[in-house]
Amino acid sequence: AKNPQTNLTHDGVLIGTPNYMSPEQIMGKALDGRSDLFSLAAVLYEMLTGERPFSGDSVTTIIYRILHEQPKEPRALNAQVPPAISEVLMRALAKDPARRFQTGGDLAQALQGFSISAATAGKPGEERARPPAGGSAMLAGGASDKARSVREGTAARWRMHREVTSTRGEALRARIRVALILVGAATAVLLLPGSTTIDDRWGRGGAGGEPPFYRTAGIVSSPGGLPAQGSPASRAAAVAPAVALPGDADSVTVTWRTSPPGGRIYLDDVEIPSGVARIPRNDAASHAVVAENDCFIEKVSWKMGRADAGGKDEAHTIELKTRKVAATAISSTPTGARILLDGRETGLTAPAQLPLSVCGTHTLTGRLEGYRDEVRKIEGHVPTLSLQLSRIPEGLLKISSPYPVEILEKGKRLGRGGESLKLTAGKHTLIIRNEELFVEKTLEVEVQPERTISPDAGLPGMGTLTVLASPSNCNIFINDREIGAPPINDRQLAAGTYVIRAVYLPTGEAKEVTVTIATGRGERVPFRFNQ
C-alpha cells in the first residue's frame, strides 16, 4: 500500500492503482476479464521496457492518457522486444475491450505462436526444433480430414528439410529457413491492421454491422497435437484456410492488390503479407477477403475457380471506396444540446454516439435554447467530444395592450400582454394575437441584457360590425372564418378591412362584400336572397 497522494487513487473516487486501470474501469462501466487482461498487459509492458505504458505526474494525467493516448510501442523503448510481442502488447492495451484478446487463452495462444515461430529460426548449421505434431500450416477450426492432410504434409516437409540441411550447402539451408520463417510469420504471429484501435464499421448507410475482428492467427500446437473439435482452444482461434508452403506443387498463387495501392489484405481475418497467398489447388471453401487502408475498407468473397484449380495463378484488385466509420461520443454542458453535423440537424441530442468517417474534416455544432451555439471543427477520428455551451444573457419584455392578446415566438406561446416576459438578449420576431377580435400583428424587438423594454406594439383600435340577412337561415363568414348565423349585432373587431360572406343554406347561394372597420365606429352589412 502506498500513500493515496502518490500512486493510489483517492478513496471515494476510484479504487486501485491508476497506472494499470483499464479505460472501462476508469469510466465506471461494467467489467469483465478483459479489464484484467489490460492490467496484466500493462504489467508485462513495464517488465519488458522498464516504463509504464501510461505514466504521469498526477492521477488526472494518467487517467487522461489511459482514456485518450496510445502508449509507445515496446520496441521503441527496448529494441530487443520481438515485433510479435510488441504487437501482442499493443492489442492487449486497446482502449476498446472488443479489440483486445477476449480470454486469457487467446493471449496465451498469441504468445505461444510467437515462441514457436522463434523456435524455427535457428542459426546456420544448427538443428532446428522439430515442430509439434499439429504443424504450422493450418489454423484452428479446419475439418478433421483437412487437418490430417496438412499434418501429414507438414511432417513430410520437415523430414525433407532435415535431410536437405544435412546434405546441401549453406545457401539452400538459408533459403529453406527463410521459407519456414515466412510461413510462420504468415500464420503464427499476431498481425493487426494499424486502424484496429478504431471501432470501424462497414459503412454503406450503417448496413452490415461490425467488420471482422482481426483475431490472433496463432499456430495451433501443443504436445498433444491439434485441439479437439469444439475445445476452448479451437473455438478461440481464428478460422483460416490451409495455406500451402512456398513452392508446393499442389498449390496456386493468388494475389490481391488494392486501388489505391498500398492497402492491407486479410484472408479470413489473417493478414496476408504483400497480398500474396499460396492456396492448395483442391481448396473448395469460400473465403472472406478484407482490404483496408487508414480511411477505407472493403469485404469480398473469394472461392477457388476452375481456372485456378487447373494450376493458373490469379490476381485480383479490390477498390477501396467504403469509408471507415467510427462513433464519436458527444456530451454537452448543459446536457440536451441538439447536435448538428456540417450545418444539418442529426436528430440527436447530447449525450449521444455520432457515427463519423475516420478521415476528413467535419463541423459539429451544439445548439440549445437560451445558449450560444458551440461550434467545433474536427479532423480525423475523435473518440470523445465535450461541448461547453455558454448561456445567453436575459432581459425582460413587457407589451401593453387595450385588449387581451397572446404573445408567441416561432409558434410557442410566451405569455400575455401586460406580463413581464423573460427573453434571451438579442433580436426576436414576435406574433401578437387575439383570434376572437381578428388581431394578428408581427413585432420585431431587441431585448437588452438585464433590462426591461416596453415597445409600442402598434395594435389597432376597435370598431363594431353588424350583419343582417333575409331570409336569415344563412351562415356568416369573416375572412373565411365562420362566425355563426345572422343577425350578428355589434361584434367587436380590430380596425381594418374584412371580407364578409353570407351563404344561403337552402340553395348554397353565396354573396360577399368588403368592408372597412374604423376605430370607434360601427359598420352595418345587409344580405338579401331570393326565396
Per-residue pLDDT of 256-285, as tens digits, reads 999 999 999 999 888 887 888 888 888 888
Contacts of residue 22, defined as CB under 8 A and 6 or more positions apart, other chains included, come to 31, 34, 35, 38, 39, 66, 97
Residue 207: the pLDDT is: 33
Residues recorded for the chain? 531
Q: How many helices (H) and strands (E) does the chain have?
A: 10, 28
Residue 221: the pLDDT is: 22
Query: pLDDT-derived band of residue 167, with 50, 70 and 90 as boundaries?
Result: very low
Residue 314: the pLDDT is: 85
Alpha carbon distance 472, 487 (integer Å): 7
Residue 440: the pLDDT is: 93
Alpha carbon distance 317, 354 (integer Å): 32
Count Cβ atoms within 10 A of the Cβ of residue 329 and give its class: 0-12 exposed, 13-18 middle, 19 or more buried. middle
Count Cβ atoms within 10 A of the Cβ of residue 114 and give its class: 0-12 exposed, 13-18 middle, 19 or more buried. buried
Per-residue pLDDT of 462-494, as tens digits, reads 999 999 999 999 999 999 999 999 999 999 999
Q: What is the 3-state secondary structure (H, E, C) of 412-480?
A: EEEEECCCEEEEECEEEEEEEEECCCCEEEEEEEEECCCCEECCCCCCCCEEEEEEEEECCCEEEEECC
Q: How many CA atoms lie within 13 A of 156 on its CB side?
A: 8
Query: pLDDT-derived band of residue 17, with 50, 70 and 90 as boundaries?
Result: low
Per-residue pLDDT of 288-300, as tens digits, reads 999 999 889 999 9
Query: pLDDT-derived band of residue 514, with 50, 70 and 90 as boundaries?
Result: very high
Q: How many CB atoms lie within 10 A of CB 520?
A: 10
Closest to 526 measured CA to CA, from 480, 494, 489, 482: 489
Closest to 93 measured CA to CA, from 17, 188, 25, 20: 20
Count Cβ atoms within 10 A of the Cβ of residue 530 and give its class: 0-12 exposed, 13-18 middle, 19 or more buried. exposed
Query: Nearest 5°: phi and psi at 406?
Result: -105, 145
Closest to 443 measured CA to CA, from 409, 493, 416: 409
pLDDT for residue 377 is more than 60 = yes
Alpha carbon distance 475, 504 (integer Å): 7
Alpha carbon distance 124, 28 (integer Å): 54
- Asked if residue 498 lies in contact with residue 479, where contact means CB atoms within 8 angstroms, the answer is yes
> Judging by DSSP bridges, how do beta strands 496-504 and 474-478 pair with one another?
antiparallel
pTM as predicted: 0.41
Residue 212: the pLDDT is: 33
Q: Among 58-62, 355-359, 485-489, whose mean pLDDT is lowest?
A: 58-62
Count Cβ atoms within 10 A of the Cβ of residue 410 and give its class: 0-12 exposed, 13-18 middle, 19 or more buried. exposed
